[in-house]
Each structure stands twice: as C-alpha cells, then as structure tokens.
A and B are shown apart, each in its own frame.
Chain A
Amino acid sequence: MRYALPVAATLLLALPAAAQPDGGLRPLSRSGDLKAALDAGDERALAYVAGALDALILRGSQGDPLLFWTRQCFSATFLPVEDVIPHVVAWIDANPDAPSMADLASNAVLMGFAAYCAEETAFEVRTPQ
C-alpha cells in the first residue's frame, strides 16, 4: 500500500489533459498545465492559485509548523494573488524537469508563495519537501 500510492499518483500525473472532463485544472495537474492556463489568461487558473493559497494559509493558522510563515506573510501583506503569480511562473520556468511530486501545480504555488514572502517580508520561510 505504501508504494502503491506513489505509483498511482505518478500514473495519474502522466494522464493527458484530454482525460480531464472539463479541461479545468485538477488536484493532480502538473505545473506546466498551470503555467499554460495562466499564460492563456484563464481566470480559473487564477482562482486555482487563490484556492491553493487559501488552504496553505489555513494550515499555517491551524498550527502546521512548516507553514507558520504563510500566516505571517498573509497578515503582513494581505497577499495580492496577482503579485504572487510571477513568482509561481518563475519557479515553473526554473524547474522544467522537476520530479513528479515536485511537478504538481500545487507545489509550484507553494514555492511561488514562499519566494514572494521571502522577497516582501523578513519572515523565515520554510518549504516542506
């Protein structure tokens, strides 16, 4: 079971976009899919980033020690989503060959979020692996 889940996740990540019924980003979408949607001006992609950020701030607020900085950064900046997007895109561009789990769109949001906060605040930013 322990090994079955990562294998299943890897297989799912390899699914083509055509396997998605409505073309929208999914929880297992890859970072390249997110970048393409952002580049195309798809507002669902912007909302996807906002939703991903919301969950990360929530976990920081709930006491996740690895994400405490998310709450600090949010309180200090109110986190304009459009200001985070360039950092998300920059991370994707800088990591074209990320392994499967790191290539998840949600990981790109996390890393872009961290880069934004490191640049805009003095808080110590830690990113889980």
Chain B
Amino acid sequence: MRYALTIALALALPAPALAQDAGHLSHLSTGAELVAALNAGDAEAMGFVRGTVASVYHRGAQGDEAFHWAQRCVVETLMPIDQVVPYITAWVNAHPNPSPVGRFASIAVMHGMADYCTRVIDIPIPALPE
C-alpha cells in the first residue's frame, strides 16, 4: 500500500496538462508551471500562492511545529504575496530537476515563504521537510 501510493503520486505529479482544466493551475501543477504563470501575470497564479500560504499558515496555527515560523511570519508581515513571488521564482530556478514530491508547486511556495521570512524578520526556520 505504501509503495502503491508513492507510485501513484509520482505518476500523478508529472501528469500533463490534460489532467487539468485547460491551462489552469491545480494541485497537480508543478513549481515550473506556477512560475511560468506568475511570469505571465496570471491572476490565478497569485490566487494559488495565496491559498498555499494560507494552508501553511493555518497548519502552523494548528500546532504543526514544522510551520510555526509561518504563523508568526504571516501575522507579523501579512505576507505581501508580490514580495514573496521573487523568492518562489528563485527557488524554482535553483532546482531545475526536483524529486517527484519536490515538483509540487506548494514546495516552491513553502521555500519561497521561508526565504522571504528570514530576509524580512528575525526568525529562525528549521530545515524544511522534503
């Protein structure tokens, strides 16, 4: 069961756009697709990033120790998305060949958030889960 899930996930993540609504970002989207949409000025891409940030913040608020920093950073900075985007783009550009799980667009957002937070406030961030 454990391996079946891993295989299913690995197959699903590189799924081509045909698995998604035409051209729309979904939870199957990769970091590269997200950055392409952000570079194109796609308003949906900003919405996607906001939703991802919201979930990461929310898990931190619920007690997920891996994301406690995110809760504090969102509350202190309000996390202006336009200021986080350059860090997301930088992370994706620095990781052109991610692992299957690393293809998740949310991984790129999570790392972009962490880089933004360490830059703008004095907050220690533990090694992010992979």
Q: Which residues of A contact B (CB under 8 A)?
A: 5, 8-9, 12, 24-29, 43-59, 61-64, 67, 71-72, 74-75, 78-79, 81, 101, 104-107, 109-110, 128-129
Contacts and interface: CB of A to CB of B under 8 A. Distances in A.
Contact of B47 (A46, A57, A72): A46
6 tightest A-B contacts by CB?
A51-B51, A44-B47, A47-B47, A55-B55, A48-B51, A106-B54
A73 B49 CA distance: 22
Contacts of A49: 51
Contacts of A24: 43, 46-47, 50, 81
Contact of A52 (B51, B63, B74, B101): B51
B116 interface: no
Query: Chain B interface: which size bin?
Result: 35 or more
Given A52-B52, A74-B27, A106-B51, A47 B45 contact: yes
Nearest to B67: A59
B interface, by DSSP: helix, strand, loop or mixed? helix
A110 B19 CA distance: 22
Contacts of A45: 47
Majority secondary structure of chain A interface residues (helix, strand, loop or mixed): helix
A22 B106 CA distance: 22
A53 to B, nearest CB: 5
B78 A101 contact: no
Contact of A71 (B5, B72, B109): B5
A9 B75 contact: yes
A50 B104 CA distance: 12
A5 B74 CA distance: 10
